[in-house]
Structures are given as structure tokens and as C-alpha cells.
Amino acid sequence: MNWEVVIGLEIHAQLATKSKLFSGAAVGFGAEPNTQTTLVDLGMPGALPVFNKEALRMAVMFGHAINAEIGMTSVFARKNYFYPDLPKGYQTSQMDHPIVGIGHLDVTLEDGTTTRVGITRAHLEEDAGKSLHEDFQGMTGIDLNRSSTPLLEIVSEPDIRSAKEAVAYVKMIHSIVTYLGICDGNMAEGSMRCDINLSLRPKGQKEYGTRTEIKNVNSFRFIEKAIYTEIERQADILEDGGRIIQETRLYDPELNETRSMRSKEDANDYRYFPCPDLLPIVLTQEYVDQIKSTLPELPNQKATRFQNELNLSEYDASVLSSSRPLADYFEQANSITKDAKLTANWVMGELSKLLNQAQLDINESPVSADAFGTLLQRIKDNTINGKTAKDVLQAMWDGEGSADDIIEAKGLKQVTDTGAIEEMIQAILDANTAQVEQYRSAEADKQKKMIGFFVGQVMKASQGKANPAIVNPILAKMLKG
Amino acid sequence: MFQQNIATLAQQLRNKEISSVELTQHFLQRISQFDENLNSFITVSESQALEQAKAADAILSQGKGNNLTGIPIAHKDLFCTQGTLTTCGSKMLNNFIPPYESTVTQRLAQAGTVTLGKTNMDEFAMGSSNENSFYGAVKNPWNLDTVPGGSSGGSAAAVAAGLAIAATGTDTGGSIRQPASFCGITGLKPTYGRVSRFGMIAYASSLDQAGPMAKSAEDCAHMLQAMAGFDQNDSTCSETATDDYISNLNSPLSGLKIGLPKEYFGDGLDSNVAKIIMDAVKEFEKLGATVKEISLPNLQLSIPAYYVIAPSEASSNLSRFDGVRFGHRCENPKDLMDMYTRSRAEGFGTEVQKRIMVGTYALSEGYYDAYYLKAQRIRRLIKQDFVSALEEVDVIMGPVAPTTAFELGSKTSDPVAMYLEDIYTLSVNLAGIPAMSVPAGFSEKMPVGLQIMGNYFSEAKLLNIAHQYQQVTDWHTQTPNMAKGA
């Protein structure tokens, strides 16, 4: 049968606040267990939460970025369940009145098409601690460093129809939260995690099928693979005449399969109710507007500007705007070259190649945007040609100095003196009389092919320093005889 | 010495007629002499108290300090005290030594008070008789066969018997006022948010409020002055400025408009208690007040509303007692679920378990709207009743409880009768307004408390009214026979 996949995503983005959502404890990854905790994070009797207003500001920024309704009165609620790493026996979250209401996102896919994904809501909540099951002689260790870390849970509508769309959507959210500076986007450290709600239905059917939820998938690649795997699993069951059980599943990247964690029957009744320890958050329009005015240019806006003002192609614009550090690098280099096409080609080409080989992010590049821009400038002003520039970039990457230093030290400056070039060409023509004869007796279109031999000889003789723009017309003229 | 008020003792301390160490020793001696019968203390911190007294004497000897410096008091055992056992009256916290200090105890310590110890209470503040304590029932010093009231029964009995000059209490549905009434002392439940809840082990967070318990309104004023005020550690604590509770005590009462809610004088109110309350009201008329009948029509609804909201919050607040990080953990748990269920079954007493179950039920999917949401709507009605009434009158007066202290064990098998004990006090917590219990007479040798309820943040007014009454009556100066001598 022809199945249609229906996907809704819940993304947990850890907000980049200095301290926790309800306490002054520092937020950070990798500290000694239980060293980043206060009475509140430990769930001590009598301890009370105090709301971190920085998390509020970040949530409102996100709301603006997805064109959402901002919850002018939002309420924290308690989600009650027992778990050893949940110290209070409840998670403080938002239920009926989230800080961010209905919004949407236009997601550009690889083939250039755009699809709109509705966002149901985004709410603030605290993270739980961690249970450690190894090295405790059969007991469980509890680390509460992560307890009360602020999360923004972004819930999409079931508008996603493929793994590719899902990944493009998550990448878009990733790009927005990092642009806003409200999340470091580090998925390996769990700063962004994704729950996938997925069901199948026969194409054309209106009602949704029974869905499963795949918890805590933490990379773009795993999201894609988990979705493919789960589609296949559900399709196999349905095609054998079976039924999907509504349940929570876990994706195992090593085996590339999803496994059942708990079924709906085991599901908790979370007994949500408004948290009596925290007052409702009541916003003023002034506050909401003020935050809107601090919003940076967002990826979509930037891509549009790159197309309209810099005449970049849609593809180049979307790649270069996909991450803020990449866009910043490009724009900084471009401010020196004033040649967007050249800069875009080199950032997406040679620089990206070097970064990929070294597995570095753009903000870790050993060649700064300024240095890179200066290098490209030397192509533009004919100091070096493109081929030489690749070598210079490699030398810069290896720490040998600035583009100008390297060009100077290695004597790579292009020869643009026509007299010198004419001499060089004459010597080559004299040494290759047979080829010159052949050329002169050939037809015009054959000549075009044959001229390459002479250009190559000139470049070889000049050690690549002869400027092709000057060599080509002189060579053509001298070959004519 | 134990019969003196704070102002007199402060004067004597400043004049070096007595030292804080002598005063503290006097009370420690009285505790060892009388508390075996009363059981009002769970922990007596003798050596720590004497150290604090020495420190207070040092301050006083430099001519520094204030009215509370060197004054021995006691704390209800639900305020976290750093380094001192804090049980909340429960086996669950039989081993719990907090790593921090509550705001209330911190502020009183800052003011120079000496902490004699931690007082007995109904487990997790759930009860109206102090019979729900893992550490045994507290006895009423006026009659050892009767209850002292609850849940701050230990604090009330200790103050009434002269085992401490004053004590802290907490009031979620009457837990300061009802034991104050039963034991013949003065107690104030402040406006919700007037005193920080930080470090108070929570029963029902939207209702819990700490307040002073002492012989007189004047002593309560001294205590409240130190306790009240904004605390950044409690998001529900009010930023409204505190008043000068002491200098307001002597304002005249002429022109005071008193409202008597007819619902407070209906069926179920003991006739002797009713007469004593009306006599007290007459005293106020002599002081220049006028009296008017008013109505609080939703009074009857306060019991069901309270017994949904408070257990709902409690069921969540008490989830942290899971045997994982602190408190009681069962022996040899076979798995996680076994550890949870046995630790909690062993650690919590019957009344606490009952309320956790009621609250869990009320918050469950499918029941939430019918119980919790409906109770919240009733709560708004009750609040509105008070707001409207307090537009007509300055304060509302009535009984604190329908009867005087009842016999130990007489209501333990009848929870509804026990819950009805709180009929006159619960609505105040639901509305969040302040209220006091002031000794107003005796019925068959047992004390009767007059309740005075006022508008939000009118603590200074309430204390002023109670103080003026205490200038013309002596009910608050009586001492139970068992505590006389020494």
C-alpha cells in the first residue's frame, strides 16, 4: 500500500542562561556530579523556586522569531511523577498557559521547495537530573547538576510528511535558536533533543493512524535514520494486517532500530496543576515589544537579503545563512572583497573543504574572515590567480602568515609585465616550432583546442605566476605570426 | 520570670537586672520540669540555646541589641534549622538535619532571640489536635486530658505553660489560631505573603503562612516585626512594606466598625463560647467601637474547598519524600518501586497518607475539573465575600473554634467532626487575609479565643485592636495550674 507518514516533533532546546530556571546554580556541561546544585535543585524540604527572568526573555525572543502569539499571562504547572533523578517528585513546566502560543515556520528543503510547519506552542520547563547506572555496585547514582536547567520545549503540529522535512525543520529551529543566541545548539551535549511522534495512514485518508513517540533523539542524522526505521517498522506491521500500539520508543543508533520503552497503559497520569510556589508571569506589551526590537536578523531574512542585495543564488544564500557563524564569516570577508559571488564560492568551496577535512566549525577556522577576505582581494587585484590562491590559503591554514606575507615570501606575485610575457612566449614558440606549424595550419575551431598546450607551457615557465588574462591575447596574437 | 512580657524582659536585660543566660536557664529548667507531661518539644537545644544566650549577653553588654535580643523562644518543628533536627512531626524526617536555615528562624536569630528548641506538631501540619505526631500527642496545659489544638499545638502549649516566651507557628487552615484559642494564648496568622515561606516545610503552599504565638498581642507585635517582610527566596512573598507593629499598638479604637458574620454564630457553636465572644464584643463597644451584623454566605463551602485544595497541593509537595536523598528509607528495598512504596508507607502516618490519597485523587485526569477547579472557584467566592464585607466594616469578629479544647482521642475516629473544628478558620486561609486569636474568657475552666479578621496587610490594625482589648482584660495573663510555681 502507499503510505503517507505523519510526523510531529517536540524539540527540547536548552536555554543558554548562566543560571538555572529556578535557582542561582550555574548551568554547565561536564562538572563533577552534584556540584552545580542548590537547595532548590536538590528538592530540599522548604526550598522554593525563584524564576530566572533571562529564560523568559529568551522564550519571548523565540516566540517573535516564529511569528507566534506571546502568552501575556503564562502559568507554571507541576507535572507530577516519581523518578529518582526528579528530586521534587514533579517537574515544573507549563501546561494550559504556555509562554509562546501558535506560530509557524517556513522550511526550505534541499530541492528548493518551501513547506510551512505549524508550531503549536513553546513552553518553559525545567530539566531533570541524571541517573547513572554504572560503577555503583548494582545501585544507581544520581547527578542533579542538570536538575532545573531551563528548557524551551517547541511542539510542532503534525505537519511534517517525510524524514527530509523533519530534518530540515529541526535544522531550521537549530539555526533560529543559535541565531538568537538562546541555545548553544550543541546536540552531542544534549543542548537540543528531539522527540518524534510518527504515524502512517493510507494516502488520501484523513484520519491519523496510531502514533508512536521516539524519545530523545540527539542528532540530525539520527533523526533521519530513526524516522526511516520507524516508518519501515510500522509499514511492515500494517501490511501484515497488524495494529500499531501507541507507545514510547527509544532509538538505538548502534542497531539502527527503535525499541519499546513503555506502552500507553503504563503511562503516568501527571496530575498537572498550577504551581502554587510561582506567581503567573504577566507580561506588558512594552516588554514584549522591547524584546522584539532586540531580535537579530534571522536566517530567512538574511537569505532574502543575500539574494536581493548581493545577487547570490537562492542556493548560495540559503547555505550561507544556515548558521550565524557562517553568515557572519561570509559577510565579514565580503566587506573586504566587495565581491559576493567570489566570496561565496570560496567560502562554500575551498574553505569548507579545509574545514570538513579538519572537522572544524567555521568559528574554529584558523584563517580569520579578515585574512580570508584579504586573500580573495589579491585574486581580484590580479596579484595572484585562483590556482595560486589555493596554495596560499593552504599556507595560511598551516599558520605561515597572512596572504601578503606568503605571496611575498614565496614570490608568487603574478607577472603582468607584457614585455616579460612576450619574451617568455617567444622562447616557448622558438622551442616548439613543430607545434607552432601545426597550429598555424589548423582550422579555427581546432586552434582553440590547441592553444591550451601553449598556455600550459607559459604557466609552467612562469611557475603559475603569469596572469592568464594578459597571457591569452598576447599568445593568440603571436601564434598568428 | 516566665510570666513577664517581652518589653519588660528586654528592659531588665538592658538594665542588667537579669542576663539572657539566666533567663534561658530558667526556661530550660521549666521545660525539664513540665514538658514530660506536655510533650510540647520534639527537640530541646540546651547547649546551643546557652551559647546564643551568651552571645546575646555580649551584645547587650555593649549597649546594643533590640527588644528581642536574648529572649528565649521556640520554633515549630517545620522551620528548617541548620544543623538541628527538623522532623515536621514525622517519622519520615526522623533523621533530617537541614543544611540551611529558614528565613523566619534566620530573621529571629538575627534579631538576637535564643532558640530553646523545636516544638511538637501534627505531622506535616495536618491536624487540628496535635494527635497526629510521630512524637506523640501534646497535652493542653489547662487540662492534660484535652488536646492543645493543632497543628501548632506544641508551640501553643509551650507558650501557655511558660516554657518559652513566644514561639513560631504556621497556619494553613487555622493551625496558629485554633491551638492559640485552646491554650489561651495570642496568635496571629498574617496575610498570605507577609512572612516568607522559604525554609518552611510545605503542606499546602498557597495557604501556608507563618506567624507569631505569644501571651499577648504586644509580644506578637515584637515577633512579627522581626519575621515579616519581603524575601527574594520566596516568589509568593509580598513586596508591600511592613508597618511598625509596635508603635501602632496604642492607637484608640473609637469609631472602629466591627462586623459579626451571622454564619459564625449558627448551629454547632457552643453556647458558652458564643456568650464569651459576645461579651468580648461588648468590651469593644465600651472602647468606642460600633457593631454590625454582616454575612459571609459561602462559609459552609470553605470546608470542602479547603479539603480539596490543601490535600491536592500536599500530594505534590510531599512527593519529594521518596527515600532517595533524605528522610526515611525502608530496609533492603528489592527494587525502585518497593523503595518508594515501603519508604512512604513506613514514613508517613495515617492522616498524611489519607490526605496524599485525597489530593492525588482530586488532581487525577477526569476528576480535576470536578474537584480542584471547582474548589478554586469556591475559593474565589469566599475571597469575594471577605472583600465585600471588609468594605462595610474595619474588622470581622467571631469565634476561632466551635468549642473549647476537646478530650484526647474523642474525635480521632470521626474525621468529619475533626474537620468541622476548622469551620471558622479555614476561610481566612482561602481568602489570604490576616486573622488573630485573642484570649477572651474561660468556659468550664478552658480558654476561649476571640477571632479578629482584617483586610490584607492590616496586621498592625489587628495587633492594635487586640492590644487595646488586652489593656482592659486579663484573660491573656492567666497561667494554667500545672505550670505554676518555679
Determine the residue of chain A that is closest to B93 in CA distance.
Answer: A45
Three-state secondary structure call for residue B168: strand
Å between B205 CA and nearest CA of chain A: 6
* Burial classification of residue B63, based on how many CB atoms lie within 10 Å of its CB (0-12 exposed, 13-18 middle, 19 or more buried): exposed
Asked if B322 lies within 8 A of A90 by C-beta distance, the reply is: no
Residue B152, pLDDT score: 98
Q: How many angstroms separate the Cα of B72 from the Cα of each of B6, B87, B281?
A: 10, 21, 33
Amino acid B51: pLDDT:
98
Residue-level pLDDT at A111: 82
Instruction: Please give the average per-residue pLDDT across A113-124, as a whole number.
Output: 95
- What phi and psi values does residue A213 have, to the nearest 5 degrees? -120, 120
Quick one: cell of A13?
532546546
Give tens-digit pLDDT for B70-114.
999 999 999 999 999 999 999 999 999 999 999 999 999 999 999
For chain B, counts of helices (H) and of strands (E): 15, 11
**How far, in Å, are A7, A200, A212, A379 from residue A231 at the CA level?**
10, 7, 10, 50
* Chain B residues with CB-CB distance to A43 below 8 A: 320, 325
The answer to whether A277 contacts chain B (CB < 8 Å) is: yes
What part of A 71-130 touches B (C-beta under 8 Å)? Answer: 78, 80, 82, 84, 87-90
Which amino acid belongs to residue B132?
Answer: N
SS3 of B94, please?
Answer: coil
CA distance B86 to B81: 7
Residues A250 and A240: their CA atoms lie apart, in Å, by 23
Q: Does A209 touch chain B (CB under 8 A)?
A: no
Contacts of B322 in chain A (CB under 8 A): 82, 84, 89
Under 8 Å between Cβ of A118 and A102:
yes
Cα–Cα nearest to B155, from B228, B78, B94 = B78
Cα–Cα distances in angstroms (integers) from residue B119 to residues B41, B122, B138, B262, in the given order = 4, 10, 10, 36
Cα separation, B26 vs B32, in Å, equals 10
Phi-psi category of residue A190: left, alpha or beta, with phi > 0 → left and psi -120 to 50 → alpha = left
pLDDT of residue A265: 63
Across the interface, which of B102, B233, B364 has its CB nearest the CB of A269?
B364
The secondary structure element, H or E, covering residue B310 is: helix B302-317
The C-alpha cell at B421 is: 473544628
Predicted pLDDT at B314: 98
Q: Average pLDDT, stretch B459-486?
A: 94
Lowest mean pLDDT segment, chosen from A449-463, B353-367, B415-429: A449-463
Distance CA A343, CA A336 (A): 10
Q: How far apart are CA A196 and CA A162, in angstroms?
A: 12
Q: State the distance between the two ends of chain B, measured CA to CA, in whole angstroms.
A: 9
Residue B201 to residue A46, Cβ atoms within 8 A: yes
For the stretch A5-60, pLDDT in tens is: 999 999 999 999 999 999 999 997 788 999 999 999 999 999 999 999 999 999 99
A264 falls in which pLDDT band (50, 70, 90)? Answer: low
Work out the percent of chain A whose per-residue pLDDT is above 90: 73
Contact: B319, A82; criterion CB under 8 Å: yes
pLDDT band with cut points at 50, 70 and 90 for residue B226: very high
User: How do residues B298-326 score in pLDDT, each as one tens digit?
Assistant: 999 999 999 999 999 999 999 999 999 99
Task: List CB contacts (< 8 A) between B315 and chain A.
Answer: 80, 271
Mean pLDDT computed over A431-442:
86
A269–B340 C-beta distance less than 8 A = no
pLDDT score of B79: 98
What is the 3-state secondary structure of chain A? CCEEEEEEEEEEEECCCCECCCCCCECCCCCCCCCCCCCCCCCCCCCCCCCCHHHHHHHHHHHHHCCCCECCEECEEEEECCCCCCCCCEEEEECCCCCECCEEEEEECCCCCEEEEEEEEEEEEECCCEEECCCCCCCCEEECCCCCCEEEEEEECCCECCHHHHHHHHHHHHHHHHHHCCCCCCCCCCCEEEEEEEEEEECCCCCCCCCEEEEEECCHHHHHHHHHHHHHHHHHHHHCCCCCCCEEEEEECCCCEEEEEEEHHHCCCCCCEECCCCCCEECCHHHHHHHHHCCCCCHHHHHHHHHHHHCCCHHHHHHHCCCHHHHHHHHHHHHHHCCHHHHHHHHHHHHHHHHHHHCCCHHHCCCCHHHHHHHHHHHHCCCCCHHHHHHHHHHHHCCCCCHHHHHHHHCCCCECCHHHHHHHHHHHHHHCHHHHHHHHHCCHHHHHHHHHHHHHHHHHHCCCCECHHHHHHHHHHHHHC
CA distance A126 to A283: 20
Catalytic residues of B: 76, 151, 175
Q: Is the pLDDT of residue B230 over 90?
A: yes
pLDDT at A182 (0 to 100): 97
pLDDT at A134: 80
Q: What pLDDT sits at residue A460?
A: 84
Cα dihedral A169, A174, A179, A182 sign: positive
CA separation for the pair A145, A165 (Å, rounded): 34
**What residues of B are in the A interface, CB distance below 8 Å?**
78-80, 86, 88, 93, 96, 98-100, 102, 197-202, 204-206, 232-236, 312-313, 315-316, 318-322, 324-326, 336, 340, 360, 363-365, 368, 372
Give the side-chain half-sphere CA count within 13 A for A398: 8
Instruction: Tell me the shortest Cα–Cα distance from B445 to chain A, in angstroms.
Output: 39
Cα B276 from chain centre: 22
- At residue A140, the pLDDT reads 87
Mean model confidence pLDDT for chain B: 96
Q: Is pLDDT of A467 > 90?
A: no
Tell whether the model's pLDDT for residue A223 goes beyond 90: yes
Beta bridge partners of B396: B259, B453
Q: How far apart are CA B419 and CA B438, in angstroms?
A: 22
Sort out which chain A residues have CB atoms less than 8 A from B102's CB and list them.
Answer: 46
CA distance B67 to B17: 15
Would you call A48 an interface residue with chain B, using a CB distance cutoff of 8 Å?
yes
- Four-point Cα dihedral B336, B342, B343, B344, nearest 10: 110
Mean pLDDT of A267-274: 90
Min Cα–Cα distance to chain B from A270, Å: 8
Assess whether pLDDT exceeds 60 at residue B486: no
Secondary structure (H, E, C), B363-390: HCCCCCHHHHHHHHHHHHHHHHHHHHHH
- What strands, in cross-sheet order, belong to the sheet with A273-274? A90-94, A76-80, A273-274
- Cis status of the peptide bond prior to B410, with omega within 30 of 0: no
State residue A449's pLDDT score.
Answer: 80
Residue A267 neighbours by CB distance under 10 Å = 12
For A421-434, give one letter per residue: b (16+ CB within 10 A) or e: beebbeebbeeeee
> Has residue A112 got a pLDDT over 80?
no
Determine, for residues B316 and A80 on separate chains, whether the beta-carbon distance falls below 8 Å. yes
With b meaning 16 or more CB within 10 Å and e meaning fewer, what string describes B13-45?
bbeeebbbbebbbbbbebbeebbeebbbbbbbb
Q: How far is CA A237 from CA A57, A201, A244, A249, in A?
A: 46, 12, 7, 15
